[in-house]
Structure 1
Amino acid sequence: MNSEQLLSAMTPDVYERLTYAVETGKWPEGTVLSQEQRDSCMQAVMLYQSKHNVDAQHMTVAAGGDISFKSKSELKKQFHAEQQDIVRVNPND
C-alpha cells in the first residue's frame, strides 16, 4: 500500500486510534504494541497530519508536511486564552 492509498483509507477515527496507540503504547482495547507497530503507527500519524492538520499544535506536522513548533510564550498565550472559556466553581463559597 502506498502513502496515497493509506491516506485515502484513513478516517478521522482511525487517526485517533493510531494517535492513542503512539501516545500510550497500546491500543484503546489495551493490547500492547511492539516497537515496530508503534513506529509504523507514528509514521501513519505524521503522514495523516501532513495532509489534514490545519491547526497544528506544538511539535506536530502541519498540513503541507511542515513541522510546526510553537514557542513557550505562544503556548502560554494559547492556554491562557482557552482558560478564559472555563467556568470555575469554588466549592468553599
Structure 2
Amino acid sequence: MDVNQLLEAITPEVYQRLSYAVETGRWPEGQTLTQAQRDSCMQAVMLYQSKHNTEAQHMTVAAGGDIAFKSKSELKRQFQAQQEDIARFKVSESEA
C-alpha cells in the first residue's frame, strides 16, 4: 500500500484509535502494542496529521507537513478561550 492509499484508508475514527494506541501503548480494547506496531501507528498518525490537521496543537504535525509548536502564552490564550465557552453554574450559599 502506498502513502496515498494509506491516507485515504484512515478515517477520523481510525485516526483516533491509532492516536490512542501511540499515546498509551495499548489498543482501546486493552491489548499491548509491540514496538513495531507502535512505530507504524506513529507514522500513520503523523501522515494523517500532515494532511488533515488544520488546527495543530502544541508539538504536532500541521497540515502541509510542518511541525507546529505553540508557545506557552499561545496555549494559555487558547485554554482561556475554551474555558469561556464552558457553561458556569453559580452555587448558592445554601448548597455550599
TM bucket normalised to smaller: over 0.9
Question: Structure 2 regions of 5+ residues with no counterpart?
Answer: none
Change in CA separation of 1:92 and 1:31 when aligned onto 2, cut-off 3 Å: farther
What displacement does 1:2 show? 1.2
Larger Rg over CA atoms: 2
For residues 12 and 5 of structure 2, the distance between their equivalents in structure 1, rounded to whole angstroms, comes to 15
Q: Which amino acid is the alignment partner of residue 26 of structure 2?
A: K
Q: Which amino acid is the alignment partner of residue 88 of structure 1?
A: R
Q: How is 1:56-75 mapped onto 2 (pairs within 5 angstroms)?
A: 56-75=56-75
Cα offsets for 1:38-75 (capped at 9, x unmatched): 11100000000001111111101000000000000000
What displacement does 1:88 show? 3.0
TM-align CA RMSD:
1.2
Match of 1:5 in 2: 5
Residue aligned with 1:37, SS: helix
- TM score, norm. by length of structure 2: 0.90
Residue aligned with 1:32, SS: coil
Identity of aligned residues (%): 72
Aligned length: 93
Q: Which amino acid is the alignment partner of residue 57 of structure 2?
A: Q
Match of 1:22 in 2: 22
- TM score, norm. by length of structure 1: 0.93
For residues 37 and 56 of structure 1, the distance between their equivalents in structure 2, rounded to whole angstroms, comes to 24
For residues 90 and 30 of structure 2, the distance between their equivalents in structure 1, rounded to whole angstroms, comes to 36
